[in-house]
Every structure is written in C-alpha cells, then in structure tokens.
C-alpha cells in the first residue's frame, strides 16, 4: 500500500495515465499471446493424431510389439509423411527460385528490393516520426498512431515482386506448418511408445489373486483384441 | 451436456489469469521454441532430400519409389488370412510364374489345324484332351468330332458347333411310366388305383 502511495506521489497525472494504458496493453498482449499459443497447441494435437491412423493396425495386430520397434516404425512413417507433405512447399519454392533466376538474368538486376516493391500494394505509416514517441522511465513508448505515409499504389514495373514475394511467403509459412506437424507427430510417437506398452500395478494386490491353495489365478480381464491371432514374426 | 459446454465457453477470472500466465510462459520460452522449430526445419529439409534421393534411386531401379513397410505388408497378410478364415476358403497359393508377362513377351497364336506342323512337317504328338467348363456351366468336349455337313450355307463354322442338350423346364410326369411300372403296388400310401 505504501508502494502505491509512493507511485501516486512521485508520478505526474500524465505519467499515471500512460502507465495505466501501458498495463492494459501489456495484459492484452499477454492474453493474446496465450490464446495464440493455445491455438497452436490445439493445432498440434490435431496434427499429432494423424500418426495414429498409420500406427493403429501394426500395433493392434501385434506386429509392432515393443517400444523400440514402435519408435523406429513411427519415425519411418513420419519421415514419409513429412516428405509427402513437404512436396507442395518444395515445388512452390523451386518455382519461385526458377522465376527469380529467369527474371534477374533477363533484366540484369540481381539485388532488387523485392519486399520494398511489394509494399507499394499496402498502406504505410510514418513510424520514424519522433513526435509520436515519448519517454517513460527511460523506455520509449508510442503515444499516438502515426500519420499515413502512402496509400496502395501498384506499379507495373514491380510486377515480378508482386509474384515473387507472395510465393516466398507462402512457401515459408507452408513449410513451417509442415514442420510443426512433423514435430507434433514426433512428440506423439515418443509419448505413445511410453504409454501403450506400459504395465501398471495400480489397483493390483498380490494376495487377492491367489487361489485357495496358494496358486495364482489368471488375470480377471482378458486382453483386448484377443480374437486376433498372435503374430508369427520373431521378436526383433 | 449443453450446460457443461456453456460453462466451458464462459470467460471466468481463472481462464483470464490462465491465458495471461500462458502468454508470459510463451514469451519466456519463445526463443527456445523458435530454435527448436528452426532445428527441426533444417532436419526436415535433410530428411526430405534423403527420401527424395532414396525414392529416385528405387524408381530407376524399376522398383516402387516408396514400397510399403514390412509391418504394413504383414498387417495386410494377417487381415487377408483372417478374412479367408472367416469365409472358410483356403488361402490361395501366390502364383510365381517362371516367365512373367511383361512388355517384351510375345504371344504366338497357332492358327493352323491339327495336322502337319508347318515348320518341320511332322505330325505333332496329340496333347491330352482339355476339360473346359464353359460359362454356361456345361462341359463341352472339344475332342475332334465327326465331320458335319453344312447345309445352311452359313460362312461362320462356329455357329454349327453342337450345343449342350437343353434340360426341359418341366420334367416328364410319372404318367409316362404308368404302362411299364406298377406304382400302386409298391406305394405304401396307396396309389390312385384300387
């Protein structure tokens, strides 16, 4: 309480308003980040479930019967899935590279500002205007939204940038999503290899399973999928 | 059920604080997460290059670029065996032809009659008569038949092949035997005659 009083005394009215705004912005920023993180996590969970489609039958039919084999088989499947999914961004990237080489070779301009040219399609603001910033306890903060610098003005001379930059961005984002799915499946394979071969003694009592003459009885619960014949494959 | 969903969708203070805390955690671990993503990206590019070359080499060796893994093949085999066990049919033996048909295989159809061989002039040894079962489920004997005289003047000899005897839809009645067998004397239930 004394700390708050100290802040109350030492800050001017303008500083106090600025601090309240700063706190609200920070809280909203963290909440937004948390929501984005939760969205990414949910997406990864959905992507990870995809590996179960490929791992289900070999496990249920007892072809894959131990954690090491499960991981090995899972990673082989995961590599093939990655290759198949990454074909699209690779083809896009290769096409953009080919386009760039042909265009730059034909025009002789190998170091153009493609991203700068592409920004002519969007609004730009005067972010370098010093009057929109203020110092607050040594930290530079934005005090107001900057003025508009340029409106969208497409230029025919920049047509190559309008093709190349979207191609590059799509390729990068697509490949990142594919890698995220690969990472999610990688984690799921490791988790499943630990859980599906797990033996638990939770709820088990040694003496409750003894017969009348000290003979252990069979487990009460039959194994799941008992109708499936055992595999003839020797253990690896 | 509906109330639970409604409760989940409500924005409570706990959820607000949880999102806030998660945001803080993600901010702190963002460099680490990005580094892991970049590492996996580089590793993924390497995996893709290796898979590409492995598939290409297999393709030019005349094999399938990405053949099914042996685990998947084994599962398919077990499923097939289960299906056959349920249907009660024996498992078919996998055909292994010594010289499988391919694009370079040449089929030669013999269009000459069973007489002299045009190549060496010798009479070929008669092969054992086949026992074909036609699509009409009748057995057709294709051994040499006595010559037929074509009186119809049709050009196509295939139309003059003897066909299988037709089974009448209505079998002959027992009345036709009435003159030969005394049915009434053997029938314990009695016949129509007294």
A-side interface with B, Cβ within 8 Å?
27, 29-38, 57-58, 61, 63-64, 73, 76-77, 79-80, 82-83, 86, 90, 175-176, 178-180, 182-183, 186, 228-229, 231, 233
CA-to-CA distance for A49 and B101, rounded, in angstroms? Answer: 43
The b-or-e profile of B85-104 (16+ CB within 10 A means b, else e) is eeeeeeeeeeeeeeeeeeee
CA-to-CA distance for B194 and B190, rounded, in angstroms? Answer: 8
- Per the model's pLDDT, the better-predicted residue between B142 and B41 turns out to be B41
CA of A90 to nearest chain B CA: how many angstroms apart? 9
Distance, C-alpha B47 to centroid of its chain: 36
Q: What is the DSSP letter of A210?
A: B
- pLDDT, one tens digit per residue, over A144-182 is 888 888 888 888 888 999 999 999 999 999 999 999 999
A219: phi then psi, degrees, rounded to nearest 5: -60, 145
CA of A79 to nearest chain B CA: how many angstroms apart? 7
Please state the ipTM of this predicted complex: 0.72
Highest mean pLDDT among B16-25, B27-36, B155-164: B27-36
Interface contact A58-B41, CB threshold 8 A: no
Angle at A190 between CA A187 and CA A194, to 5 degrees: 140
Interface contact A37-B72, CB threshold 8 A: no
A179 vs B26, B37, B82: nearest CB: B37
CA-to-CA distance for B93 and A183, rounded, in angstroms? Answer: 43
Interface contact A31-B20, CB threshold 8 A: yes
CA-to-CA distance for B193 and A96, rounded, in angstroms? Answer: 102
* Per-position DSSP letters for B113-153, written without gaps between them: -SS--TTT-PPPPPPPPP--B-TTS-B---SPPPP----S-
A33 vs B27, B36, B79: nearest CB: B27
- pLDDT, one tens digit per residue, over A106-153 is 998 888 889 989 888 999 888 888 888 888 777 787 878 888 888 888
CB A72 within 8 A of CB A66: no
CB A167 within 8 A of CB A99: yes
Domain ranges, ordered by start, for chain B: 16-90
A30 vs B23, B40, B55: nearest CB: B23
| Whether the model pTM is above 0.95 | no
Residues in chain A with CB shorter than 8 Å from the CB of B25 are 37
- pLDDT, one tens digit per residue, over B92-136 is 555 555 555 555 555 556 555 554 554 555 555 554 444 444 444
CA of A22 to nearest chain B CA: how many angstroms apart? 15
Residues 6+ apart with CB under 8 A from B27: A30, A33
Upper half-sphere CA count for residue A113 (Cβ side, 13 Å) = 4
Residues in chain B with CB shorter than 8 Å from the CB of A90 are 48
CA of A198 to nearest chain B CA: how many angstroms apart? 21
CB B74 within 8 A of CB A63: yes
How far apart, in Å, are the Cα atoms of A138 and each of A128, A129, A133, A151?
19, 19, 12, 34
- Overall size of chain B counted in residues: 194
B75 vs A31, A57, A82: nearest CB: A57
Structure tokens at B167: 């089974």
Interface contact B41-A179, CB threshold 8 A: yes
Residues 6+ apart with CB under 8 A from A204: none
pLDDT recorded at residue A92: 95
pLDDT recorded at residue B129: 47
Mean pLDDT over all residues of chain B?
Answer: 66
- pLDDT, one tens digit per residue, over A40-59 is 889 999 999 999 999 999 99
A90 vs B40, B48, B55: nearest CB: B48
Helices (H) and strands (E) in chain A, counts: 6, 4
Strand partners, A135: A140
How far apart, in Å, are the Cα atoms of A56 and each of A59, A71, B71?
5, 13, 11
CA of A157 to nearest chain B CA: how many angstroms apart? 34
**Is residue B186 predicted with pLDDT exceeding 90?**
no
Residue of A25, A27, A37 best to disrupt the B interface, most CBs of B under 10 A? A37
Angle at A18 between CA A17 and CA A22, to 5 degrees: 120
How far apart, in Å, are the Cα atoms of B170 and each of A144, B7, B175, B183?
103, 77, 14, 21
CA of A23 to nearest chain B CA: how many angstroms apart? 12
From A54, which residue of chain B is nearest by alpha-carbon distance? B72
Residue of B56, B68, B78 best to disrupt the A interface, most CBs of A under 10 A? B78
Residues in chain B with CB shorter than 8 Å from the CB of A178 are 44
CA-to-CA distance for A64 and A236, rounded, in angstroms? Answer: 10
Interface contact A82-B47, CB threshold 8 A: yes
């Amino acid at each position: 309480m004394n700390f708050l009083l100290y802040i109350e005394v030492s800050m001017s009215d303008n500083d106090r308003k600025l601090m309240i705004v700063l706190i609200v912005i920070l809280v909203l920023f963290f909440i937004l980040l948390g929501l984005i993180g939760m969205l990414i996590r949910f997406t990864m969970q959905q992507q990870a479930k995809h590996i179960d489609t490929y791992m289900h039958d070999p496990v249920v039919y007892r072809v894959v019967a131990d954690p090491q084999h499960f991981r090995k088989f899972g990673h082989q499947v995961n590599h093939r899935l990655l290759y198949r999914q990454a074909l699209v961004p690779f083809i896009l990237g290769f096409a953009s590279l080919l386009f760039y080489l042909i265009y730059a070779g034909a025009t002789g301009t190998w170091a153009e500002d493609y991203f700068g040219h592409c920004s002519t399609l969007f609004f730009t603001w005067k972010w370098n205007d010093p009057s929109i910033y203020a110092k607050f306890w040594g930290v530079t903060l934005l005090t107001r939204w900057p003025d508009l610098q340029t409106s969208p003005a497409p230029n025919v001379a920049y047509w190559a940038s309008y093709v190349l930059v979207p191609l590059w961005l799509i390729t990068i984002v697509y490949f990142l999503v594919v890698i995220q799915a690969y990472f999610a499946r990688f984690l799921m394979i490791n988790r499943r290899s630990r859980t599906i071969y797990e033996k638990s003694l939770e709820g088990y009592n040694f003496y409750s399973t003894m017969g009348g003459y000290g003979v252990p009885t069979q487990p009460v619960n039959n194994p799941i999928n008992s109708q499936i014949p055992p595999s003839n494959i020797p253990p690896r | 059920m509906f109330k639970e969903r409604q409760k989940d969708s409500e924005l409570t203070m706990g959820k607000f604080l949880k999102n806030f805390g998660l945001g803080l955690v993600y901010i702190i671990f963002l460099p680490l997460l990005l580094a892991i993503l970049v590492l996996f990206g580089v590793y993924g590019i390497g995996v893709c290059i290796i898979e590409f070359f492995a598939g290409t080499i297999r393709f030019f060796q005349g094999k399938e670029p990405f053949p099914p893994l042996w685990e998947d093949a084994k599962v398919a085999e077990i499923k097939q065996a289960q299906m056959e066990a349920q249907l009660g049919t024996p498992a078919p033996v996998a055909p292994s032809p010594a010289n499988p048909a391919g694009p370079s295989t040449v089929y030669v159809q013999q269009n000459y009659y069973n007489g002299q061989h045009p190549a060496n002039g010798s009479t070929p040894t008669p092969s054992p008569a086949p026992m074909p079962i036609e699509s009409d489920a009748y057995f057709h004997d294709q051994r040499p038949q006595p010559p037929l005289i074509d009186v119809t003047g049709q050009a196509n000899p295939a139309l003059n092949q003897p066909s299988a005897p037709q089974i009448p839809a209505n079998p002959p009645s027992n009345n036709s035997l009435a003159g030969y067998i005394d049915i009434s004397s053997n029938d314990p239930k009695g016949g129509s005659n007294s």
